[in-house]
């Protein structure tokens, strides 16, 4: 009987193979020059959920957007998004003032100025934060900017609770059939909802959040507010691949690509409910 031997890459060569694959992938990606027209892009935004009266939280990569939709600049994009959801709609974006580890950030940054602290999570988020009619929540590490009908209600209590707890804007979006969407962002790198589930569930919170509390001061005009942060532990690696596959398979989370531009969307309530169940079943983390 003929047998076939499996080829196994020595573990010492795996990092080199991964690097070679990333280089090849980047090279091939640069050769892809497909773009979306203005009309085609608007059609995709409507498909994503940007319709009249929608409540939607957006993650974005301006670099990817500019490459795939060169006919629209970020200012035009913000105006377009507002126009699509209209006066009855509400749009939110993250405006987190740090990159990297929350745990190390709160040890060195003791003041959060709501008006002056720039967003560090993308150009579009900072331009949105500064645009007309937008208000920002007062949470010192994970503030969210909002525009539209329910903006004030959604952000008002954020600093009275935790980053992703029951007083956070994203949790409250469930009242309005809220969506979380992404444009140009790699899967699993954008959905803040993953953090909301692990913060709300007692088991995952005990595992992944520090026992330490760090004091910071929120400056909101003339007002000063003392806030205590319990950050995520930097020594606990969290991989959401398993949950991501399950949520996609069950059609709760949708990823798709059009002309090279990545899109993603999910309903807040369905995502959160199923994520909490997966944590109970020990199927939330892992590859």
Residue 218 lies in a domain: no
Please count the structural domains in the chain.
Answer: 1
Residue 2 lies in a domain: no
Reported as a single tens digit per residue, the pLDDT across 234-270 is: 998 889 999 999 999 999 999 999 999 999 999 999 9
Residue 157 lies in a domain: yes
- Average pLDDT rounded to a whole number, residues 196-218: 95
Instruction: Provide the terminal-to-terminal Cα distance of the chain, rounded to the nearest Å.
Output: 36
Residue 222 lies in a domain: no
Phi, psi angles (nearest 5°) of residue 147: -140, 140
Residue 130 lies in a domain: yes
Reported as a single tens digit per residue, the pLDDT across 5-26 is: 455 666 666 665 666 655 555 5
Alpha helix ranges (H) inside 98-234? 102-108, 123-130, 151-155, 169-172, 193-200, 202-208
Residue 110 lies in a domain: no
Residue 10 lies in a domain: no
What's the confidence (pLDDT) of residue 73?
93
Residue 263 lies in a domain: yes
What's the confidence (pLDDT) of residue 157?
98
Q: Which domain holds residue 187?
A: 35-98+118-191+237-280
- pTM of the entire structure? 0.88
Q: Which residues contact 256 (CB under 8 A, 6 or more apart)?
A: 262, 263, 264
């Amino acid at each position: 009987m003929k047998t076939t031997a499996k080829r196994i890459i020595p573990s010492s060569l795996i990092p080199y193979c991964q690097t070679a694959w990333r280089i090849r992938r980047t090279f091939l990606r640069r050769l892809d020059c497909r773009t979306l027209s203005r009309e085609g892009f608007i059609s995709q935004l409507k498909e994503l959920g940007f319709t009249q009266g929608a409540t939607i939280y957006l993650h974005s990569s301006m670099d990817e957007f500019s490459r795939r939709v060169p006919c629209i600049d970020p200012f035009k994009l913000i105006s377009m998004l507002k126009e699509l959801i209209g006066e009855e709609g509400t749009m939110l974006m993250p405006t987190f003032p740090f990159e990297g580890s929350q745990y190390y950030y709160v040890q060195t940054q003791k003041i959060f100025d709501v008006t002056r602290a720039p967003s560090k999570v993308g150009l579009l988020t900072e331009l949105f934060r500064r645009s007309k009619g937008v208000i920002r929540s007062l949470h010192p590490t994970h503030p969210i900017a909002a525009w539209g009908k329910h903006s004030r209600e959604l952000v008002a209590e954020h600093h009275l609770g935790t980053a992703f707890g029951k007083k956070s804007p994203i949790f409250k979006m469930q009242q309005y059939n809220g969506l979380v969407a992404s444009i140009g962002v790699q899967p699993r790198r954008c959905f803040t909802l993953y953090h909301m589930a692990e913060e709300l569930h007692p088991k995952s919170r005990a595992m992944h959040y520090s026992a330490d509390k760090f004091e910071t001061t929120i400056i909101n005009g003339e007002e000063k507010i003392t806030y205590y942060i319990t950050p995520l532990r930097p020594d606990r690696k969290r991989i959401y691949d398993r949950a991501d596959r399950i949520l996609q398979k069950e059609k709760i989370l949708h990823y798709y690509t059009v002309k090279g531009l990545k899109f993603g969307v999910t309903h807040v309530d369905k995502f959160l409910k199923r994520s909490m169940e997966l944590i109970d079943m020990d199927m939330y983390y892992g590859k």
